[in-house]
């Protein structure tokens, strides 16, 4: 069964460092998403991406965050200058297209900021 | 805005017990409703869904019925197994952005033999 793959599974970084989380969505999917889950809290929507641009973003997704699809395969989330409160599990998800509202999630990337 | 409220956990049951995890929602339109499951060390997997009122989603012995009148989508299973131990998330999405989902807090289920 097709799956969404995420790397790394766990990253530890120092506060202020840049982090890039990578995702390979399902190949024929057209819509891409990032969610995060701070330990013990809800899964929260960060951003949606379609046709090579952001279609919607949450208040959490401030100027420190960016997304891109550099090569038609990978979908990356960059955090420019990490803060302690960015420590969380980050989930990538993809969706086939219009009329298909089922998301397929990756296993997540755990980010720990020290 | 949209919100999802789940029954607080954790829930601990013996094998073959009946499971109910309550979920209620608030939404401005006519959302689709979902239950996701997260097994230890894994990502979120769609368990079942319902897209309109009175629809029943079912999968792997789990069921949930979309109740518009009570704005609820309670998860049930008649006889749980140890392998059902996981975290269960109720979620909704609006038709205007089908991938933007609002999640509940998650309920941790532990089934003991």
In which band, very low, low, confident or very high, does the pLDDT at A72 lie, cut at 50, 70 and 90? confident
What is the C-alpha to C-alpha distance for residues A27 and A25, in angstroms, rounded to an integer? Answer: 6
What percentage of chain B carries pLDDT values higher than 90? Answer: 77
Q: Among B81, B56, B83, B68, which residue's Cα sits nearest to residue B25?
A: B68
Q: What is the pLDDT of residues B39-49, one digit of tens each?
A: 887 888 999 99
Subunit contact B103:A4, Cβ cutoff 8 A: no
Specify the residue for token string 């009175």. Answer: B54
Please report the pLDDT score of residue B1 as a whole number: 83
Report the chain B residue with the minimal C-alpha distance to residue A55: B97
> In terms of CA atoms, which chain B residue is nearest residue A6?
B43
pLDDT at position B17 over 80: yes
SS3 A26: coil
Contact between residue B87 and residue B96 where contact means Cβ atoms under 8 Å apart: no
> How far off is chain A from B106, nearest CA to CA, in Å?
7
Strand runs labelled E in A1-114: 5-7, 10-13, 19-24, 31-37, 43-50, 53-57, 65-68, 75-79, 88-95, 104-105, 109-113
pLDDT of residue A42: 86
Residue A100's pLDDT band (cuts 50, 70, 90):
low
Q: What is the mean pLDDT of residues A24-49?
A: 92
């Amino acid at each position: 069964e097709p799956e969404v793959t995420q790397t790394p599974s766990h990253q530890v970084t120092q506060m202020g460092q840049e982090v890039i989380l990578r995702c390979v969505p399902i190949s024929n999917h057209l819509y891409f998403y990032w969610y995060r889950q701070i330990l013990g809290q809800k899964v929260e929507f960060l951003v949606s991406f379609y046709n090579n641009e952001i279609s919607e973003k949450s208040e959490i997704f401030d100027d420190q965050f960016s997304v891109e699809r550099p090569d038609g395969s990978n979908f990356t989330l960059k955090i420019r200058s990490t803060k302690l409160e960015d420590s969380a599990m980050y989930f990538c998800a993809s969706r086939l297209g219009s009329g298909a509202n089922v998301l397929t999630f990756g296993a997540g990337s755990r980010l720990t900021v020290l | 805005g949209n919100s999802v409220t789940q029954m607080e956990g954790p829930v601990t049951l013996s094998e073959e017990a009946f499971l109910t995890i309550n979920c209620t929602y608030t939404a401005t339109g006519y959302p689709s409703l979902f239950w996701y499951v997260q097994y230890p060390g894994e990502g979120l997997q769609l368990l079942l869904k319902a897209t309109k009122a009175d629809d029943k989603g079912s999968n792997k012995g789990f069921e949930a019925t979309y109740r518009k009148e009570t704005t609820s989508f309670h998860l049930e299973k008649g006889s749980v197994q140890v392998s059902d131990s996981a975290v269960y998330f109720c979620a909704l999405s609006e038709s205007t952005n089908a991938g933007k989902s609002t999640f509940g807090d998650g309920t941790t289920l532990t089934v003991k033999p």
